[in-house]
Structure 1
């Protein structure tokens, strides 16, 4: 087993963890969780964390728009598996952030991916600085 696939080593690389149960509907005709579901899981982990960190996703002046996403798949999972989703920030800019997410089943790395959000004004959709209070919370997720 490589260092990358040892759960203990990987778990230490992430700052926040969330459990995500798979659903029956997540399985595709091949009997495993379809690749597109991993993107929905990433979106869920990131937005759950943002809401908990104080971002008002419904009426706040700033919102994060996904401008880039990527996922590497390493192993299959299927319903009724429950995944551990690790979240960290690989890059924190003035108006953008790169979230990195790792999915583990027990101690096996299932997938690793990232989302890049650019924070914009809700109305004009022009980039804005990440709000100070949110930036402070994000700094706790940053990895070297």
Structure 2
């Protein structure tokens, strides 16, 4: 059984017809695209859009465990949960459910983000406003 993690947000993505694979299920690559999209939107709303001239996250690692197939049409709900916070890294967990079937977990993804100075190519501390948001959600940040 998974431990309860601090929830930062839940995002919605409407599955597109073209997101399905040859057997009519959400293509495995789309899970990673969906995770990326919700992270970028979340960061933008926090006031930290991706700026190649400044600092921001790079993807350190990502994974996804597929539990059940999803098929079109569906509104996919994806959680953003805090798993671990380091000096410059943030590990997130994402649960994929479907609107109208929120009790069924279709997939569980993880992503580790590392904050870097894009120009210098070196890690930097996670910005304090993001840490404050993580703490407000109950994370050890």
| TM-score normalised by L of structure 1 | 0.85
Name 1:138's counterpart in structure 2.
Answer: 134
- Counterpart pick for 2:69 among 76, 83, 108: 76
Task: Indicate yes or no: 2:12 matched with 1:35.
Answer: no
How many residues matched? Answer: 136
Query: 2:40 touches 2:49 (CA, 8 Å); kept in 1?
Result: no
Task: In structure 1, list runs of 5 or more residues that go unmatched.
Answer: 5-9
Cα-to-partner distance string for 1:48-107 (whole Å, 9 max, x where unaligned): 111111113135621100010010001111121111111111001110000110011212
| CA–CA distance in structure 2, aligned partners of residues 14 and 131 of structure 1 | 19
Across the aligned residues of Structure 1 and Structure 2, the Cα RMSD in angstroms comes to 2.1
1:22 maps to 2:15:
yes
1:120 and 2:113 matched: no
- Gaps spanning 5+ residues in structure 2: where? none
Greater share of helix residues, 1 or 2?
Answer: 1
* SS at structure 1 position matched to 2:42: helix
1:109 aligns to 2:102 (yes or no): no
| TM-score of the pair, normalised by structure 2 | 0.87
What CA distance in whole angstroms lies between the structure 1 residues aligned with 2:60 and 2:116?
Answer: 11
